Amino acid sequence: MPTLTGVEARRREQAQVLRPEVPGARVEVGRVPPPEDLRWCVDYAWSVRWDTPAPYRQAVVPRPAVHVSAERWEGQPRLVVTGVPSRLFHRVLEGQGRAIAVAFRPAGFRPFTDRPARALVDRAGPYPDLLGGPPDADLAARLLAPDQDVADACADLLAWFAERAPAPDPRADELSGLVEAIERDTSIRGAEQAAALAGVSLRTLQRRFRDYVGPSPKWVVQRYRLLDVVEAAHTATEVDWAELAAELGYSDQSHLIRHFRTLVGRPPASYARATADT
């Protein structure tokens, strides 16, 4: 299955983050590729550091991926598992701080737990509380220490997972590749096409997605096509929304607008104008 190139991945990452109307914060984001032995399950490690005197609220369009992050949870350093959010995800940054995290491939976290991925959708919490496992507070505190280089902290978290990684799971790798193909190929517009690409029935694919990915194949396809709309709103000076709707498989322009408004809270043309003004 094809995967995103570096340029495509950066463009998609930028599309995920909805543009704030007033930036008002100093935020530094970095990412580190996984070691070879984790590439079957991990997409990348990432870090964010911020310095903002006033609360800074950032909206993110989530992809179908689990993240595990060292951050403050109820005021304490914890290793937090965040399942796939089904709706727009908001994060509030305030004061000075940092987070260190691992982003798994779409089906990559499933082999680390005995629970189906569906059980983590719209859920977040400290690793031991949510899934069991070793104590996490000391590790999280070490990763969040101000004198710890963020790239070294990312490498340490990756090493922690490498020590606990199960044997590579061919089904996880196969389903991650399928989701990444859906992400890359804008001609995939429905769950039936995804099932045909996988060479299985739609019912079989739905069952596998519940177990390994979390959201349904239909949700995954719709989410990536909406991310295509967000990307167009960020990068194009003029957008023919009716033409874009046809290209992405929407029945008409109003269908595209309705889906975008449900997720983002405003029509795409209004959002694009607001983005251009910032």
Is residue 64 within 8 Å of residue 132, measured between CB atoms? no
Average pLDDT in the 211-225 region?
96
Same domain assignment for residues 158 and 202: no
Is 92 a domain residue?
Answer: yes
Same domain assignment for residues 116 and 175: no
Same domain assignment for residues 16 and 150: yes
Is residue 52 within 8 Å of residue 95, measured between CB atoms? yes
Tell me what pLDDT residue 160 has: 96
Q: CATH code at 264?
A: 1.10.10.60
For residue 216, the cross-strand partners are none
Tell me what pLDDT residue 19 has: 61
Tens digit of each residue's pLDDT (9 = 90 or more) over 78-131: 999 999 999 888 888 888 899 999 999 999 999 999 999 999 999 999 999 999
Is 142 a domain residue?
Answer: yes
Tell me what pLDDT residue 21 has: 44
Total number of domains constituting the chain: 2
Domain boundary among 164, 199, 215: 164
Task: Please state the pTM of the whole predicted model.
Answer: 0.89
Domain boundary among 131, 164, 197: 164
Domain that holds residue 142: 6-164
Same domain assignment for residues 187 and 64: no
Angle at 199 between CA 111 and CA 67, to 5 degrees: 30
Please, which residues have CB within 8 angstroms of residue 196's CB and are 6 or more apart in sequence? none
Packing angle between helix 217-235 and helix 170-184, nearest 10 degrees?
Answer: 40
pLDDT band at 242 (very low <50, low <70, confident <90, very high): very high
Domain boundary among 164, 190, 215: 164
Which candidate, 204, 243, 244, 206, places its Cα nearest to that of 225? 244
Which candidate, 74, 16, 68, 73, places its Cα nearest to that of 43? 68
Same domain assignment for residues 155 and 176: no
Same domain assignment for residues 217 and 157: no
